[in-house]
Structure 1
Amino acid sequence: MAEPHEHQFKVKFSQHHAEEYTIYCDQPCRVLEAIKTLDIYEEKINCADEKIIIQMGKGDNECSIATHFPCSCIEDNEVLTISCTSEIVEEVQPDFKRSENICTKDRYSIFYIDKVGGKDTKSKDLFRNNAVKQFKYLCVYGEKGITVEDALNRDGRFIDDLGYFKLSENENTITECTQKVNKMDNKKFKICLQRQKNKNAYSSIIKVAQQKGKHVKKKETNGDADTNEIDELLREQFPDLKRWMESDGDLYKQALNLRKENFQQSFSEVHRVHKLLELGKSVCKVAVKDVSVGTGFVLFDTFILTSAHYFKGSVHENKLKENVDVFAIFDYEDPETETNFYYFRAKDTFIDFDADLDYAVLELNPEGSNPTLQKRAQNIKVPPGLISKFGSLPDNEWVAKKLSFDTMESK
Structure 2
Amino acid sequence: MSCKKRRSQISFNTRKNKKIDDYFSQVPKEEQNDPNTPQVKVDSKKMPRDITNTRDQRPLSPKKIQQDQTPPLNKKITVTLGVNPRKHKKMKYELSCSETSSLYAALNTLNAVREEVESRKGREMLVCGKEGIEGYLNLGMPFCCVPEGSHVVITFCQCKSKTEENKRFSEPQDQASTNYVRFFIHAVCSKGKKILKCRELSQEGNKLCVYGFKGETIRDTLRKDGRFCSFVESDDWKLINDLDTIIENTQPVDELEGKLFQVAAELPKNPRVVSVTQSSGLENRNFHKIELYIVNEYTTLKEEGEKLRAYIKEESEKRKKKASLFNVHKEHFGKMTKNSIPVKLNKHLSRVSDSVGFLWWNNNGNSGCATCFVFKELYILTCRHVITSIVGEGIDSSEWAKIISQCVKVTFDYEEFPLTEDKFFVVKPWFEISDEKLDYAVLELEENGQEVPAGLYNGIGPVPLSGLIYIIGHPEGKKKSIDGCTVVPPGSRSKNCQEKFQAREEAGCCFSTSFIHMFTSLRSFQEMLHNSDVVTYDTTFFGGSSGSPVFDSNGSLVAMHAAGITCPYQGGANNIIEFGSTMKSILANIKQDEHKYNTIFGNVQDAEMLSTDS
TM over 0.5: no
TM-score, normalization: structure 2?
0.29
Higher relative contact order (CA 8 A, sep 6+): 1
Q: Which has the larger radius of gyration?
A: 2
Q: Which has the higher helix share?
A: 2
